[in-house]
Amino acid sequence: MARVRIIPVLLLQNGGLYKTVKFQKPQYVGDPINTVKIFNEKEADELVLLDYTASRDKRGIDHKKIAEIAGEAFMPMAYGGAIRSFDDAKKVFDDGYEKVVLNSILFSNTALVREIGNVYGAQAVVGSIDVKKNLFGRYKVHGFSGTQSSGKDPVEWAKTLEEAGIGEIMVNSIDRDGTWEGYDLDLVEKVAAAVSVPVIACGGAGGFSDFEKAVQHKASAVAAASMFVYQKKGMGVLISFPTGKRLNN
């Protein structure tokens, strides 16, 4: 059996780490360097670092900061935020990251996936799909920190990204983000069943049992933020990781 990766997601903004609830109400949770050092000690499988408002705010990549963060990491790192071209991606890889995470740029340029993959390999390109239910209860893909609906169905969008050459898909429920209510398992399973590339479940995890449920619903890996940076729901910051616990699929 393959061991399932457990991935902390860190949200970067203005040099600090923040955590949101349903992509809103960002709360400062700490310094990224210190946080990465803690995850080193706890032997996290890999980390995802997202400058989550960079595309929305039309900012560039803070290469000095993200290189500093990667330089402290003993595990594989993925970075997303304001990657708009192959040159942007190349600089991120040069900064010390093993993967790039693409989101909003894919609405206008899916060719970027193949352009990066041809040089660094498909496994180095992650497609992030942020999903929210509309007033009619239908899943729709959103971009730019969840502020703009693309009108796309997440299952069809996942298929499009796979055809474009994406190596991995991270599906994130905006409605579950920061709620500790568990993943949207229906969403995870629908996307995972539609593609052959690995699917990372994200958005809503509140405990190890949520990881297990996601794997049972076809997730290849699980990601979380709140449960890794808070003691419990509604309580203070305490960086943690389920050391010694392993998932298999």
pLDDT digits (tens, 9 = 90+) for 43-99: 889 999 999 999 999 999 999 999 999 999 999 999 999 999 999 999 999 999 999
- Where b means 16+ CB within 10 Å and e means fewer, 99-127 reads bbbbbbbbeeebebbeebbeebebebbbb
Q: Per-residue confidence at 231, pLDDT binned at 50, 70, 90?
A: low
Taking only the tens place, the pLDDT of each residue in 166-212 is 999 999 999 999 999 999 999 999 999 999 999 999 999 999 999 99
Q: Per-residue confidence at 247, pLDDT binned at 50, 70, 90?
A: confident
Q: Per-residue confidence at 21, pLDDT binned at 50, 70, 90?
A: very high
CA 89 – CA 106 distance, rounded (Å):
13
The pLDDT, as a whole number, for residue 66 is 98
Length of the chain in terms of residues written:
249
Domain residue extents for the chain: 3-248
Task: Kindly list the catalytic residues.
Answer: 130
Residue with the bigger pLDDT between 12 and 42: it is 12
The average pLDDT across 133-152 equals: 96
In this structure, which CATH number among 3.40.50.740, 3.90.1200.10, 3.40.50.300, 3.20.20.70 belongs to the domain 3-248? Answer: 3.20.20.70
The pLDDT, as a whole number, for residue 229 is 85
What HEC string does the chain produce?
A: CCEEEEEEEEEEECCEEEEEECCEEEEEEECHHHHHHHHHHCCCCCEEEEECCCCCCCCCCCHHHHHHHHCCCCCCEEEECCCCCHHHHHHHHHCCCCEEEECHHHHCCCHHHHHHHHHHCHHHEEEEEEEEECCCCCEEEEECCCCEECCCCHHHHHHHHHHHCCCEEEEEECCCCCCCCCCCHHHHHHHHHHCCCCEEEECCCCCHHHHHHHHHCCCCEEEECHHHHECCCCCCECCCCCCCCCEEC
